[in-house]
Amino acid sequence: MPQHHAHHERIVERLYELLEKEARLVDVSPETGIISRTAVAATYSSTETILAKLLSAYPKHAVDSRLTCYAGSRLADDLSGRTDGIKLIFGTDEGRESVAALYGDLLLNKLAIAQMVDMLKRLVSKIRSWDGLLRIMELDAGTGCTPKSMVPMLASLGIQVEYTFTDLSGPFVAAARKTFGKEYSPVHEISDSTHRTATRARPH
């Protein structure tokens, strides 16, 4: 049988459950745990073919489907320990672009970001007489989808704002510094006790 990393035990059990109960490709003995192949023929479709069908049938879920295809086609490497989920998703341009699209373009995420932007705009409108510095810290900001909407809005309000972008991944912070440092200053890097790096911008 194919070997998998110990920390993937639960997901492998679930995969065999699907193979047994849904696909009927195997039988798993409840007494011994021995896995036997059934006579049911396995159908084959490439990930590209499956993705094309999903994109055609569910165009509104294109972002989810593309990320699932990207990660699913490399599942064996992850389960075997040749790579891990973090490297798989964030270690390549394609993976980072896919997850950034998920965070930024998925309808539920867009709604959540829009609500935060609206809440802050209304909050600031009530403290116009305050001449202090509004400090905002975003933990695990990742691909920067929230500040892409938040920072320009804050810059348009005409008040002093300090927006701190933090993440455990240094490359994400570097990308944020490069993106926002072009328009907003000063931008510099800090770190905290959890080794989370951060970049600060003052969009005012």
Q: Which amino acid is at 138?
A: E
Residue with the larger pLDDT of the pair 2 and 67: 67
Q: Is the pLDDT of residue 196 over 60?
A: no
Among 14-28, 53-67, 117-131, 146-160, where is mean pLDDT lowest?
Answer: 117-131
**pLDDT, tens digit, 9 for 90 and up, residues 1-34:** 568 888 889 999 999 999 999 999 999 998 998 9
Tell me the percentage of the chain whose pLDDT exceeds 70. 87
Distance CA 119, CA 13 (A): 44
Distance CA 177, CA 187 (A): 7
Q: State the pTM of this model.
A: 0.67
Mean pLDDT score, 90-115: 85
Mean pLDDT score, 185-199: 51
Residue reference for tokens 């972002």: 63
**pLDDT, tens digit, 9 for 90 and up, residues 141-177:** 888 888 888 888 888 887 888 888 888 777 778 888 8
| Amino acid 202: pLDDT | 62
Distance CA 181, CA 187 (A): 6
Beta strand ranges found along 118-174 (DSSP E): 133-138, 160-167
